[in-house]
């Protein structure tokens, strides 16, 4: 069973500004999407880069006419080393869903953020 660790106050995690915390020697990135906080291991599964130090961003898609659209604001983290993009909620790579970054459950209680790792 994962251990519940107090890592910070919820108001210390801002949208668009990932916060890196240490949990028993592991670097973990915290991300705010709307009212929810998510946690991801700060290791890119592609080449071991510090994934959560990349930007919290959106991504692009195209519509039926071929127009490029920006969407999913603040739901993606992009690795600063090679540009791989990962869904913050699921950890899945946008290019290859078989590749995933490790995510951890998060609870917020009385304004405190706990990561279960």
CATH number of the domain encompassing residue 81: 2.102.10.10
In the chain, the number of structural domains is 1
User: What residues form DSSP beta bridges with 107?
Assistant: 114
- Tens-place pLDDT, residues 9-68: 999 999 999 999 999 999 999 999 999 999 999 999 999 999 999 999 998 888 888 888
- Tens-place pLDDT, residues 56-106: 999 888 888 888 888 788 899 999 999 999 999 999 999 998 999 999 999
- Buried b / exposed e along 59-68 (16+ C-beta atoms within 10 A): eeeeeeeeee
List the 36-41 sheet strands across, edge first: 19-23, 26-33, 36-41, 103-104
Q: Is 50 helix (H, G, I), strand (E, B) or coil?
A: coil
- Look up the domain containing 110 and give its range: 4-116
């Amino acid at each position: 069973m994962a251990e519940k660790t107090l890592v910070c106050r919820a108001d210390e995690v801002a949208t668009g500004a990932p916060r890196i915390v240490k949990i028993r020697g592991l670097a973990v990135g915290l991300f705010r999407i709307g009212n929810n906080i998510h946690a991801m291991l700060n290791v890119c599964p592609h080449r071991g880069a510090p994934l959560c130090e990349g930007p919290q961003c959106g991504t692009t898609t195209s519509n039926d006419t071929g127009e490029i659209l920006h969407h999913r604001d603040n739901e993606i983290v992009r690795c600063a080393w090679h540009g791989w993009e990962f869904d913050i909620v699921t950890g899945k790579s946008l290019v290859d869903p078989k590749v995933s970054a490790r995510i951890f459950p998060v609870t917020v209680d009385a304004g405190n953020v706990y990561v279960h790792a």
